[in-house]
Amino acid sequence: MSAPETLMKTPLTELHLRLGGKMVPFAGYEMPVQFPEGVMKEHLHTRAAAGLFDVSHMGQIRLRPRSGRMEDAALALERLMPVDALALKPGRQRYGLLTNEAGGIRDDLMFAHRGDHFFIVVNAACKAQDLAHIRDNLAGDCEVEDWSDRALIALQGPQAEAALARLAPAVAAMAFMDVADVTLIGADCVVSRSGYTGEDGYEISVPAGRAVELAEALLADSRVHPIGLGARDSLRLEAGLCLYGSDIDGTTTPVEAALEWAMQKSRRTGGARAGGFPGAGVILQQMAEGAARRRVGLLPEGRAPVRAGVQLFDSGASTGAVGRVTSGGFGPTIGGPVAMGYVPTRQAADGAQLFADLRGSRVALRVAKTPFIAPGYKRG
């Protein structure tokens, strides 16, 4: 028998156990999948009030230009992403994509302009490879720092602003995708007004040694409950947000994944800095001509969830699968099953009917726009 996997712990692991968290392996870490409230109530509480999430397993990286000029760091970063980093203003954050030579997505990430450096947050399962990739390609232009002595906490929901403003009133003035230095419980934190639930909220990078104290200060507010991975997944699915390794990976391009919105005009054909990123030939050709398949939202009939891996068909009797579900489950907010998956582009129009093979029976689904819920982001 092989030796059991040694799981890493986040700075909040002991707090999760004290709060009754049910711990499971996730991306090499011991993480809470749920707390005593249960996934359904945690999900609904986040939509109604505020949920506290431990996302410390994700990677935090700082990219500092050796020249001292942020435009040099931005142009270096653009060599790895089909995203406009040069136009990002200080104090603002943007969604980005690392691509490979085949046009696939190595990882998706968030990056923020911090005045004299970029602050980058990458997915847990990819962080070692991302750090090596960035260092291998950008070390000549930038100092690349693994900011691993930090925890990362997400506070999400319509009451997140009120709860965090108790500790730092200035956060109320932040708008969606703003990033700022904020002192919380005496600790120097980096706070972004963003998240992964479709709700208003914040992500807080805090020194690891102060993470428990900060989490406890937030949980002292009755509006804030601890939330596990189960509800985090159902919340992001209702919000139509991709999960790396499920909805996107190294074999899916940004065009196939319906993420063209993340590629600004300056990086597209005819733009001021078109191309120059890995896989540009494939991606820009798909931008012009379309891709053969497309990620879409799916609404199954009935109450039974249609899970990841389920095959999709274009009729109730056909034998050849035309697509596959990549994320699926029950959407507590909308009171029914929701899913996402890839289908032929010709069958990706809103309202198109497909069928899922569910335990030997064909269940009808229709293609639907995402997000499935109205986002609650606070725009500037």
Q: Is the dihedral of CA 369, 232, 109, 245 positive or negative?
A: negative
Nearest to 355 by CA among 325, 326, 334, 332: 325
Question: What's the token pair of residue 53?
Answer: 């999430």
Summarize the confidence of residues 273-298 as an average pLDDT: 98
Percent of the chain with pLDDT over 70: 98
CB-CB contact of 295 with 270 (8 Å): no
Q: Which amino acid is at 229?
A: L
The position carrying tokens 């104290």 is 213
Residue 4's pLDDT is: 55
Question: Are the C-beta atoms of residues 106 and 129 closer than 8 Å to each other?
Answer: yes
C-alpha dihedral (34, 178, 198, 24), degrees to nearest 10: -20
- pLDDT of 55 over the 80 cut: yes
Q: Where along the chain do its domains lie?
A: 13-58+149-238, 292-380
Cross-strand bridge partners of residue 357: 362
- By C-alpha distance, which of 109, 211, 225 is closest to 156? 225
* pLDDT above 50 for 367: yes
Is residue 138 within 8 Å of 104, Cβ to Cβ?
no
Closest CA to 78 of 63, 64, 94, 98: 98
pLDDT at 374 over 70: yes
Mean per-residue pLDDT, 353-366:
93
Measured distance CA(51)–CA(228) in Å, rounded: 9
pLDDT band at 360 (very low <50, low <70, confident <90, very high): confident
- pLDDT tens-place string over residues 59-117: 999 999 999 999 999 999 999 999 999 999 999 999 999 999 999 999 999 999 999 99
Q: What pLDDT is stored for residue 315 in this prediction? A: 80
Helix (H, G, I), strand (E, B) or coil at 155: strand
- Whether 292-380 and 13-58+149-238 are alike in CATH topology: the answer is no
pLDDT tens per residue, range 246-267: 999 999 999 999 999 999 999 9
Distances from the Cα of 92 to the Cαs of 69, 175, 179, 211, in angstroms?
17, 10, 6, 24
Contact 49, 31 (CB under 8 A): no
- Report how far residue 140's alpha carbon sits from residue 351's, in angstroms, rounded to the nearest whole number: 50
What CATH code would you report for 13-58+149-238? 3.30.1360.120
Residues 209-253: pLDDT tens digits?
Answer: 999 999 999 999 999 999 999 999 999 999 999 999 999 999 999
Phi, psi for residue 354 in degrees, rounded to 5:
-135, 175
Give residue 2's pLDDT.
Answer: 46
| Mean pLDDT confidence for 152-179 | 98
C-alpha span between 321 and 315 (Å, rounded): 10
> H/E element holding 285?
helix 280-289
Contacts of 47 (CB under 8 A, 6+ apart): 157, 158, 199, 235, 332, 333, 373
Q: Judging by DSSP bridges, how do beta strands 311-313 and 323-331 pair with one another?
A: antiparallel
Residue 260 amino acid letter: E
Between CA 202 and CA 332, with CA 37 as vertex, the angle to 5 degrees is 70
From residue 232, give the alpha-carbon distance in Å to each of 39, 45, 65, 193, 227. 9, 12, 35, 17, 7
Whole-structure pTM value: 0.96
Given a cut of 90, whether residue 3 has pLDDT beyond it is: no
User: In terms of CATH architecture, what is 292-380?
Assistant: Beta Barrel (2.40)
Q: What is the pLDDT of residue 1?
A: 44
C-alpha–C-alpha distance, residues 107 and 262, integer Å: 13
